[in-house]
Amino acid sequence: MKILLTAATPFEIQPTLDLLQNKGLKVQSSDISYLITGVGMVATTYFLTKKIGQVKPQLIVQAGIAGSFTEQALCSTVVIKEDCFADLGVMEENQFKSIFNLGLSDPDHYPFNQGLLKNPYSHLMDLTNLEHVKGITINEISTDKSRIDWHQQRTRAMVETMEGAAFHYVCLHEKIPFLQIRSISNRVGERDKRKWEIKKSIECLNEQLILLLEKIDAKNEI
């Protein structure tokens, strides 16, 4: 099986890369390639699409850390069941209107489903044994309390990232099975880095990532 592992930054998946490189980028029978896209939706969309054309993977896994809108325990790891471009639209009359609200796009035009980018591969998400949660993707990390409250009320998402929805968008268009897994490093809006758990969340993320790759390899099918 050909698996593509991707992340926005190298440090998020470095422990897994170190292990794989010692094994020649293989997990038993599975061949692993990897891609560091850089931060943000544009970089993710461009470099992921380009990489898919080069390696033609059968499964793509995006891994990284994320901020949480909820009281989810720091360093816990989750799998994203659906994502969306949460800031694509216009703020008008003190209300945000998405491109779907504005009638600029059909919320059910593929790959969207009710305006969301849903992972249809439930059997793969179940294989992770992780909680299935909703994510949102934005260009600017949320720091303003009113904006954070607004995101929570409007989307009911658990996590916030800068790449997730772009990842879902590309994989759905390319019709390649995929998984987005995230480890919680901080609360959304918390700017005191002393209260973040980046190092530990990366450790937990990579523990789960290695377990997942081993499970997929043992199963040897998508």
- The whole-chain average pLDDT of the chain stands at 92
Q: Which of 30, 27, 26, 50 is nearest to 38 (CA)?
A: 50
Write out pLDDT tens, residues 146-166.
Answer: 677 777 777 788 999 999 999
Average pLDDT over residues 45-73: 95
First-to-last alpha carbon distance for the chain, in angstroms, is 9
pTM greater than 0.85? yes
pLDDT score at 67:
92
Using CA atoms, how far residue 218 sits from 33, 173, 215, in Å, is: 18, 27, 5
CATH number assigned to the domain comprising residue 69: 3.40.50.1580
State which residues form the domain around 76. Answer: 2-219
Q: How many domains does the chain have?
A: 1
- C-alpha 24/C-alpha 162 separation (Å) is 30
State the pLDDT confidence band at 142, using cuts at 50, 70 and 90. low
- Give the lowest-confidence range in 81-95, 116-130, 145-159: 145-159
pLDDT score at 144:
67
Q: What number of residues does the chain have?
A: 222
Write out pLDDT tens, residues 175-222.
Answer: 999 999 999 999 887 777 888 899 999 999 999 999 999 998 888 777
State the pLDDT confidence band at 23, using cuts at 50, 70 and 90. confident
Average pLDDT over residues 71-84: 95
State the pLDDT confidence band at 103, using cuts at 50, 70 and 90. very high
Tell me which long-range contacts 106-111 makes (C-beta under 8 A, separation of at least 24).
110/172, 111/168, 111/169, 111/172, 111/173
With 80 as the cut, is the pLDDT of residue 1 above it? yes
pLDDT score at 61:
98
With 70 as the cut, is the pLDDT of residue 143 above it? no
Write out pLDDT tens, residues 32-52.
Answer: 999 999 999 999 999 999 999
